[in-house]
């Protein structure tokens, strides 16, 4: 017998201004979660088909197959994202990042936001078929679609299911501009497909590399490839003709925010030919905050009290700190590019730019980014962990 309706799944946890606003966004989402004692959790719009227990390289993972009735999600206009549509083929993520903003979405599935989120992966097995139908040219109109706005499209499950790979084919077939954000070097498997797609549509890839610090990486992102490998992937993608930038996020206070750490990551990104460098500070919203503090108490117990003082009851650090990060990254980009300019004999002009003020709507954001509304964002894939509560756009450095 079905239990009481638990709520609706938050597809876009990137709007978190007030509880009232949060629930308003949740109520507009198309997910309605119900639990049946005989079958476990299932979704009317994503019918649970079967469960697969991972073996071999997927040992320790459980894959929950669902058939989605719709795959393209519309981003609420209030989020001020420079894209309007996303596709998320997976829920949960084997990267097991301690700070992942998407963890609370598993609670809406009657699953835990800790180990369950890391090991019980919802797979929308019909993603490619649905995308082919929903993105048909006459119906879609070539609007931009972002991948990687919730959980990673190239997490370990992608090696088994090849859904992101299939979506790239659909995007090229229907001439749909798209962007991808990932922490995984598995994206290199599709380098040729992505390069071919750039001949047809606008494509932007971004590798998330928060820090090169081995201790911090191993502790906070245990399921991800080494940062140096991700930087190498940035270089290989750009060499293959796939525009690829670096998202430095989240930068963890008192763990990966020293000038030396940030400078090293920026230098590596510039050396890899990154088309852009974006920095984001850690934000801790309800649910994620508790999980992160539990991890912090185990891994770095001496930092619990300083974090409590610094964040207080806030989810986001003061926006002045975000602006300072923007300025710092821009300066480090210039430092990293100076030797290359000297070798090439290029003049020392100022190729690094940052958005100076907050646009009032999506069209204005796109105008400031130098692209037409509905086109692919040439600067960054703009993940949904953007601190939109800040009244400013993302800090970024564009590398000319």
| Residue owning tokens 């004999």 | 345
Residue 39 included in any domain: yes
- DSSP letters, 258-275, are SHHHHHHHHHHHHHTT-S
Residue whose C-alpha is closest to residue 9's, from 23, 25, 29, 24: 29
Peptide bond into 3 cis (omega under 30): no
Q: What is the mean pLDDT of the chain?
A: 80
Q: What is the domain range of residue 379?
A: 19-398
Q: CB count, 10 Å around CB of 4?
A: 7
Question: Given this model, what pLDDT does residue 187 score?
Answer: 98
What are the backbone angles phi and psi of residue 117, rounded to the nearest 5°?
A: -60, -35
Examine the pLDDT at 252 and tell me if it is beyond 70.
Answer: yes
Residue 264 included in any domain: yes
In the chain, the percentage of residues whose pLDDT exceeds 70 is 72
The better pLDDT of the pair 336, 344 is held by: 336
The better pLDDT of the pair 271, 14 is held by: 271
Q: pTM of the prediction?
A: 0.78
CA distances from 85 to 48, 77, 149, 177 (A): 24, 10, 10, 11
Least confident of 58-72, 184-198, 338-352: 338-352
DSSP-based three-state secondary structure for 312: coil
Distance CA 256, CA 209 (A): 11
Residue 274 included in any domain: yes
Least confident of 132-141, 290-299, 378-387: 378-387
The average pLDDT across 308-329 equals 94
β-bridge mates for residue 245, sequence order = 206
Least confident of 16-20, 260-264, 270-274: 16-20
> What's the domain count of the chain?
1
Examine the pLDDT at 367 and tell me if it is beyond 90.
Answer: no
Distance CA 210, CA 281 (A): 10
Q: Are strands 145-147 and 85-87 parallel, antiparallel or unpaired?
A: parallel
Q: CB count, 10 Å around CB of 148?
A: 28
Residue 10 included in any domain: no
The DSSP element (H or E) to which 163 belongs, if any, is helix 163-174
Question: Given this model, what pLDDT does residue 259 score?
Answer: 97
| Residue owning tokens 């919802």 | 122
Residue 3 included in any domain: no
Distance CA 372, CA 327 (A): 26
Residue whose C-alpha is closest to residue 400's, from 260, 178, 245, 232: 245
Q: What is the DSSP letter of 61?
A: -
Residue 28 included in any domain: yes
The pLDDT tens digits for 275-309 are 999 999 999 999 999 999 999 999 999 999 999 99
Question: Given this model, what pLDDT does residue 342 score?
Answer: 63
Distance CA 382, CA 81 (A): 7
Question: Given this model, what pLDDT does residue 332 score?
Answer: 97
What CATH number is attached to the domain comprising 137? 3.80.30.30
The pLDDT tens digits for 165-215 are 999 999 999 999 999 999 999 999 999 999 999 999 999 999 999 999 999
CA distances from 392 to 152, 276, 281, 296, 372 (A): 25, 18, 14, 29, 20
Q: CB count, 10 Å around CB of 342?
A: 10
Residue 8 included in any domain: no
The better pLDDT of the pair 99, 376 is held by: 99
The better pLDDT of the pair 86, 36 is held by: 86
Examine the pLDDT at 66 and tell me if it is beyond 90.
Answer: yes
Residue 204 included in any domain: yes
């Amino acid at each position: 017998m079905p239990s009481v309706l638990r709520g609706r799944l938050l597809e876009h946890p990137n709007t978190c201004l007030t509880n009232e606003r949060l629930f308003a966004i949740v109520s507009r989402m198309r997910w309605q979660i119900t639990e049946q004692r005989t079958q476990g959790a299932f979704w009317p719009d994503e019918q649970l088909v079967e469960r697969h227990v991972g073996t071999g390289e997927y040992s320790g993972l459980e894959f929950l197959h669902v058939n989605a009735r719709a795959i393209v999600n519309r981003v609420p206009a209030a989020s001020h994202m420079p894209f309007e549509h996303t596709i998320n083929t997976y829920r949960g993520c084997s990267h097991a990042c301690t700070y992942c903003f998407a963890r609370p979405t598993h609670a809406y599935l009657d699953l835990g936001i800790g180990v369950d989120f890391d090991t019980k992966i919802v797979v929308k097995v019909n993603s490619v078929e649905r995308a082919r139908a929903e993105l048909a040219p006459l119906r879609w109109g070539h609007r931009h679609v972002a991948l990687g706005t919730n959980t990673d499209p190239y997490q370990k499950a992608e090696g088994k299911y090849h859904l992101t790979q299939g979506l790239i084919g659909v995007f090229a077939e229907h001439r749909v501009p798209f962007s991808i954000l990932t922490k995984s070097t598995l994206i290199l498997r599709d380098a040729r497909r992505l390069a071919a797609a750039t001949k047809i549509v606008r494509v932007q890839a971004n590798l998330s590399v928060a820090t090169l610090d081995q201790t911090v990486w191993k502790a906070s992102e245990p399921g991800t490839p080494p940062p140096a490998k991700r930087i190498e992937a940035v270089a290989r993608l750009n060499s293959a003709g796939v525009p690829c930038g670096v998202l430095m996020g989240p930068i963890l206070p008192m763990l990966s925010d020293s000038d030396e750490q940030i400078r090293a990551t920026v230098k590596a990104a510039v050396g890899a030919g990154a088309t852009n460098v974006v920095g984001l500070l850690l934000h801790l919203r309800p649910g994620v905050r508790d999980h992160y503090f539990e991890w912090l108490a185990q891994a770095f117990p001496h930092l619990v009290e300083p974090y409590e003082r610094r964040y207080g009851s806030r989810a986001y650090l003061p926006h002045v700190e975000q602006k300072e990060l923007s300025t710092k990254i821009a300066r480090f980009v210039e430092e990293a590019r100076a030797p290359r300019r000297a070798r090439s004999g290029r003049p020392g002009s100022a190729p690094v730019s940052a958005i100076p003020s907050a646009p009032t709507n999506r069209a204005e954001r796109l105008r400031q980014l130098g692209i037409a509304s509905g086109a692919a964002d040439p600067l960054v894939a703009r993940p949904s962990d953007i601190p939109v509560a800040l009244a400013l756009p993302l800090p970024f450095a564009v590398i000319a």
